[in-house]
Amino acid sequence: MEERNSNFIHDIIDEDLRNDPNLKIHTRFPPEPNGYLHIGSAKAIMINYETAKKYGGLFNLRYDDTNPAKEDNEYVESIYEDLTWLGATPSGGVFYGSDYFDKCYEYAVKLIRDGKAYVCDLTAEEMKEYRGTLTEKGKNSPYRDRSVEENLDLFERMKNGEFPDGAKTLRAKIDMASPNINMRDPAIYRIVHVSHHRQGDKWCIYPLYDYAHPIQDALEGITHSLCSLEFENHRPLYDWVVENIGFDPRPKQREFARLNVTNTVMSKRYLRYLVENDMVDGWDDPRLPTLCGLRRRGYTPESIFNFVRSAGISKADSLVDIAMLEHCIREELNATAPRRICVEHPIKVVITNYPEDKVEYFDLPNNPQDPEAGTRPVPFTREVYIDEADFAEVPPPKFFRMKPQGEVRLMGAYIVKCEEIVKDGNGNVVEIRCTADLETGNGMPTDGRKIKGTIHWLSAKFAKEATLMLYDKLFTIENVNDIPEGKTYNDYLNPASLTKVEHCKIEASLADAKPGDKFQFVRDGYYCKDTKHENTFNRVVGLKDSFPKK
């Protein structure tokens, strides 16, 4: 990943470096291991990783595993795999929020001793009622003035498991009249009698994110905690925690707008719903915006990061056209993907004047965009397959492909003329009989006649069989964040998001393609060999680019 132009975050860091030239920039990516990363995560990864790289600093991966009820080691492993696939190696190390549970507890005790935290017996519903609204101040908990000694005793008993879930919380004592609701004595510890995926049953109280996260940042030496815009109103609490615990130097939180993409849902909760209800083919279903789904479909790390860069880094929310993502991968694969032939809906063509036992080879380019990619020999025989879309018994106007008594070029090979159509008992065309101009192999007719149409083909003798998975948008609504009242995501699932095309014909060499290999199927689109199903290719994107050029 090469260095890119500056953005408002880099402007902030440039100013910080002017004030402190010795500042060593240190960033982090803190995912919660309760699901798989998606393309929105890629934006946060790229911003934090490339910022650290630009300034010669360090970049940490830290799992936010402070909520044991929703976390699983499966997600831990998938997050690391996605991060390394993107090339964002955590140069500063890999950490877990749970590594700091002892320190979080120690600092909570300090806040209690300093009179800045208290144990509260209000239920969740009562806390919500006491908190007030955006227009009404909150009111103090009746437990707010407990003595330091009582709070210390109750907090230790919470840790020792004497109380059931939800019976008590530890709250920061800040200001119930604050205009920022997040500062109205927020809970910083809650009771959860659930085993932790790394800590086991050591703890039955767990710190909340807004309390634990700034502590983790400070202990790791993070200088800039770069996060999405929904945490902007939480920044005063972030600063309160690091200030009142007494960290020096203090990390600085700054926010950027999230990545919103048309026809795409980023909610991990809903993505999990789709997976757990078998509505998609796992977390890596190529229709999902998960990084493993995009990888399986055939997207590359560079195409994803180019998309994020093109979408821009700002504080203003926007909705990015998914066509921009498709444009990024199409541009990359146009330059890099080997060309191969696939006949999606094969129909047999017999070249009646070609010897039955003859095989000859025509050299076709591996990539016209890259002359150094060379050519490959493609076998030609008496019987070949063409795509049924390239034949019309009653052709429409300006149809320059195969038609009765019409001539067409077989790509890179002979000009052939349709002489006869063979149908089955239902009137379906099952075979086309043609003659070839055997003087035109890779050349033009000697009599000067013009042949306007060229179609692709495969030898019936040498072609292999494959299945194509053709993907479309998973949701029919463009802005999934603007669903009408009374509707849900389910109401906008696209029933045509996947078309499975079986019994396609492919070049023989494609049968040996490795999972993840990418190709351009000529005159069709870009495809990737599937990682889960044999003889299956996923369409990454079609050839036609709908994204407007600048």
Q: Known catalytic residues?
A: 32, 258, 268
CA distances from 523 to 320, 342, 455, 463 (A): 28, 9, 9, 18
Report whether the peptide linkage leading into residue 249 is cis, meaning its omega lies within 30 degrees of zero. yes
DSSP percent split of the chain into helix, strand, coil, nearest 5: 30, 25, 45
DSSP 169: E
Q: How far is CA 306 from the centre of its chain?
A: 13
- Placement of tokens 């008590």 in the chain: 168
- Placement of tokens 């109401």 in the chain: 491
The angle formed by the CA atoms of residues 85, 97 and 45, to the nearest 5 degrees, is 30
The angle formed by the CA atoms of residues 264, 3 and 81, to the nearest 5 degrees, is 50
Closest CA relative to residue 340, chosen from 537, 179, 194: 537
HEC string of 311-335 equals HCCCCCCCEECHHHHHHHHHHHHHH
Closest CA relative to residue 349, chosen from 319, 387, 385, 297: 385
Yes or no: say if 175 and 183 are a contact pair by the CB < 8 Å rule. Answer: yes
Yes or no: say if 280 and 287 are a contact pair by the CB < 8 Å rule. Answer: yes
Burial 453-470 (b: 16+ CB within 10 A, else e): ebbbbbbbebbeebbbbb
* DSSP per position, 284-305: T-TTS-BHHHHHHHT--HHHHH
Question: What are the beta bridge partners of residue 433?
Answer: 350, 420
Question: What are the beta bridge partners of residue 471?
Answer: 498
- Show the tokens assigned to 200: 């086991």
For 196, the 3-state DSSP assignment is: strand
Specify burial of residue 227 (Cβ count, 10 A radius: 0-12, 13-18, 19+). buried
Determine phi and psi for 124, rounding to 5 degrees. -60, -40
- Placement of tokens 């609701």 in the chain: 181
Helices (H) and strands (E) in the chain, counts: 12, 27
